[in-house]
Amino acid sequence: MTVEVKAEETQVVEVVVSEQPEEALTVVEETQKVDESKPKIVEKSSSFREESNFLSDLKENEKKALNDLKLKLESAILGNNLFKKEEQPKEIAKPAEKVEEKETEIVVESVKQEGEEKEELKVEEGKVEGGEEEKKQEEGSEEKTVECVKTQENEEEKKADLVVVEEKIAQVDREISLWGVPLLPSKGAEGTDVLLLKFLRAREFKVNDAYEMLEKTLQWRKDFKADSILDEDLGTDLSPVAYMSGVDREGHPICYNIFGALDNEELYKKTFGTEEKREVFLRWRFQLMEKGIQKLDFKAGGVNSLLQINDLKNSPGPSKKELRVATKRAVGLLQDNYPEFVARNIFINVPFWFYAFNALLSPFLTQRTKSKFVVARPGKVTETLLRYIPVEEIPIQYGGLKRDNDFEFSIEDGGVSELIIKAGSKETIEISMAEVGTTFIWDLTVLGWEVSYKEEFIPTDEGSYTIIVQKAKKMGLNEGPVRNTFRNNEPGKIVLTIENNSSKKKKVLYRYKTKKSESF
């Protein structure tokens, strides 16, 4: 059967998937509402959405909890009670007062001693006249007065300085923020409610627990120096281990964690060889988390969390003690100090040992955190990721169409079409090339492959020869997406043929465009 494709002709397919957390580990089939033999444009869809941050969508008990937390936080900030008491003004004041007292005592003592010495000299020598003695006493009194005035002025200056210090400290507390979001509720910032709802949801809307969590997070960030971590140069050695790339169907930034990169013994030792190196690794990982948070909106209707993809292919596994300990610590700190910042945690290429490792971590995870886990075995990676991520945003190593530093396709080029091929059948995709000198470029992938695939250019003139662009070949399970180009010297069409000899239907995803360059 042949499917002729023209750029202006598209049909829409509706994708239906489950939103239930308990179905997170199953792969839901897409329901086709049109003829499966025809191409369709894949619409954006999603199997999950963030919980609403609009006040009108909150339950009454949730609204009350949010208001109570805001009142508690407002009082703490204005009362300068959010952080542990450090008695900063008193520590500054006490030493200053003591120094002044000592200096004053020394001045007075020296004046007295000087007066006494002069009186003794008068008795011994008997040469000081009465008028001169009175004059000297007056001079001593003047010296005492000058010193007292100076001491008083210094004390007033110290007190004034302390007032300025106290005012500055109070001002800093009132301006306190978290991820750029003001925490003082009376400021009326839109992001404040969104941020506080994260802490409330992490603690099941228990106000005191949420407030305590916020307090500990602020203290941890202060001790960890998290607010300055984005400015630190922690090197690029670990870039293959984790990186940010693209967005999912709902616009969540995607963070990829590639555990297999640590199978390299040299990199593993460089990362976990010493306690100091493990600390650098943790700091680097939190720096990446902070970079991801910079992409969030902190708005009621915006994107306020990330999507995590954890690739366990060739991972060193739990046998590596250093990795196990570092992972456990990182998970604990992320859960305690970054509440509700992960929309989904997808584990792909999951090996058999993962379930045992997950059982070890499970006691340290909240039920809410565990409900966001999605697990995919190696044969279901692409199919699972497609539930959450558009194929054009999925890297080619995971069966998607996204390539590093790709300048060929962009969002403006339009969407991706799909075609269903029934078991034991053959389909073709035809791209018209009526204009001579046209260059076309196309991407194509088949979920699960295990099909025969070929590419041809068939001229309109029956007297011309068919050109084989890609000869027929069997494509195995682990084949990557196909990209190819062709420039015609006569009118005709590109024909892509996919033959499905398996017992299961196959889904083909493809896109194409006219390339601006006239030659290669």
Instruction: Identify the CA nearest to 290 among candidates 242, 325, 249.
Output: 242
Question: In sequence order, which residues have a C-beta less than 8 Å from that of residue 145 and are 6 or more positions away?
Answer: none
Indicate the range of 151-155, 330-334, 383-387, 410-414 predicted with least confidence. 151-155
Q: b vs e for 183-196, b when ≥16 Cβ sit within 10 Å of the residue's Cβ?
A: bbbeeebebbbbbb
**What is the biggest distance separating any 2 CA atoms in the chain, rounded to whole angstroms?**
143
Which tokens belong to 16? 């239906």
Greater pLDDT, 148 or 313: 313
What does the pLDDT look like over 117-139, one tens digit per residue?
444 434 344 444 455 555 555 55
**Cβ–Cβ < 8 Å for 498, 446:** yes
CA–CA gap between residue 370 and residue 357 (Å, rounded): 14
**Cβ–Cβ < 8 Å for 485, 394:** no
CA–CA gap between residue 136 and residue 129 (Å, rounded): 11
Instruction: Identify the CA nearest to 7 among candidates 414, 484, 490, 489.
Output: 414
The reported pLDDT for the residue numbered 118 is: 43
**Cβ–Cβ < 8 Å for 451, 502:** yes
Place of tokens 């068939």: 458
pLDDT above 50: residue 23: no
pLDDT above 60: residue 26: no
The reported pLDDT for the residue numbered 401 is: 95
H or E element, residue 135: helix 130-174
Q: How far lies 256's CA from each of 245, 307, 333, in Å? A: 7, 9, 19
The reported pLDDT for the residue numbered 41 is: 56
What does the pLDDT look like over 238-296, one tens digit per residue?
999 999 999 999 999 999 999 999 999 999 998 998 999 999 999 999 999 999 999 99
What does the pLDDT look like over 65-103, one tens digit per residue?
999 999 999 999 999 888 866 544 444 444 544 444 444
The reported pLDDT for the residue numbered 70 is: 97
β-strand pairing of 451-459 with 492-499: antiparallel
What does the pLDDT look like over 339-369, one tens digit per residue?
999 999 999 999 887 777 677 667 777 788 8
* Pure H helices in 254-394: 265-272, 275-293, 321-337, 354-361, 367-370, 381-385
What's the chain's length in residues?
Answer: 520
The reported pLDDT for the residue numbered 354 is: 79
CA atoms within 13 A on the CB side of 475: 24
The reported pLDDT for the residue numbered 72 is: 97
The reported pLDDT for the residue numbered 159 is: 62
What does the pLDDT look like over 373-402, one tens digit per residue?
999 988 899 999 999 999 999 999 999 999
**Cβ–Cβ < 8 Å for 192, 183:** yes
Strand order in the sheet with 342-348: 242-247, 253-258, 306-311, 342-348, 373-375
CA–CA gap between residue 287 and residue 269 (Å, rounded): 21
The reported pLDDT for the residue numbered 121 is: 38
CA–CA gap between residue 420 and residue 507 (Å, rounded): 5
CA–CA gap between residue 354 and residue 387 (Å, rounded): 22
Percent of the chain with pLDDT over 70: 72
The reported pLDDT for the residue numbered 47 is: 44
What residue ranges in 168-311 does DSSP mark as E strands?
Answer: 177-178, 181-182, 242-247, 253-258, 306-311
Mean pLDDT of 17-25: 34
What is the chain's mean pLDDT, rounded? Answer: 80
CA–CA gap between residue 144 and residue 154 (Å, rounded): 15
What are residue 446's DSSP bridge partners?
Answer: 508
pLDDT above 70: residue 184: yes
Indicate the range of 52-66, 157-171, 368-382 predicted with least confidence. 157-171
pLDDT above 60: residue 200: yes
Instruction: Identify the CA nearest to 440 among candidates 424, 456, 428.
Output: 456
Q: Coil, strand or helix: which one is 203?
A: coil
DSSP-based helix, strand, coil % in the chain, nearest 5:
45, 20, 35
CA–CA gap between residue 190 and residue 54 (Å, rounded): 10
Greater pLDDT, 15 or 495: 495
At 8, the pLDDT band (50, 70, 90 cuts) reads very low
